[in-house]
A and B are shown apart, each in its own frame.
Chain A
Amino acid sequence: KAGVTQTPRYLIKTRGQQVTLSCSPISGHRSVSWYQQTPGQGLQFLFEYFSETQRNKGNFPGRFSGRQFSNSRSEMNVSTLELGDSALYLCASSAAPGQGAGANVLTFGAGSRLTVL
């Protein structure tokens, strides 16, 4: 059973550019959540999608956006990149949060490491 796949794994952008990151969840998982990880702030929640609907959003500016497609694949976009956006962006999938222990277990991808110059 394939795991959570994130692409690209590494990317370098310059300030002001925009970036799109992709996440393919485990087959059958309908929930996808995104996190930003930095040495200073640790892991911070960005947003969570279930069946193409955003269920929750973290405290990030509107430059950060996401969406989920009918096949449960998800993308996140960051516009007008700033130096502080350099981070490891992690995606996780689960069967269906809030519906029993097994369905709540998160499986993470390896992450997309973004460097903003």
Chain B
Amino acid sequence: KQEVTQIPAALSVPEGENLVLNCSFTDSAIYNLQWFRQDPGKGLTSLLLIQSSQREQTSGRLNASLDKSSGRSTLYIAASQPGDSATYLCAVRWMGGANSKLTFGKGITLSVRP
């Protein structure tokens, strides 16, 4: 069964800390992997998308890496700020391309303390 796991479910860090959020998936034959951010009661905002052929993507203080062989992706957040507090979800679309559904992890709720 194709599953996406994010552990821990919650994380609290002091402001300024560099941190890594983990995402693991059970089948390495992925098409792409996407990281999202969700603020309470709101929809999701796409942060980074990594295609199967890519190893990493960067946007500002965010860097996402992909290791298909180990079934892992990490989202690195540099110099965390209170405004980074949100739930971070990763989602995998497996091979089958357009005909494969997107499977989400349950998310990691991040709290950055001032």
Contacts and interface: CB of A to CB of B under 8 A. Distances in A.
Q: Do A and B originate from a single complex?
A: yes
B97 A98 contact: yes
Interface in B68-114: 89, 91, 93, 97-107
Interface in A25-50: 33, 35, 42-45, 48, 50
A101 to B, nearest CB: 5
A9 B78 CA distance: 34
Interface residues of B, number: 26
B107 A101 contact: no
Contact of A111 (B34, B43, B98, B99): B43
B59 to A, nearest CB: 12
Contacts, number: 65
B47 to A, nearest CB: 10
Interface of B: 31-32, 34, 36, 41-46, 49, 51, 89, 91, 93, 97-107
Given A48-B101, A104-B51, 12 more contacts: A6-B43, A42-B107, A97-B98, A98-B99, A101-B32, A104-B34, A105-B34, A105-B46, A106-B46, A108-B36, A108-B43, A110-B42
8 shortest interchain CB distances as A-B pairs: A98-B98, A98-B97, A108-B43, A43-B104, A42-B106, A108-B44, A45-B101, A110-B43
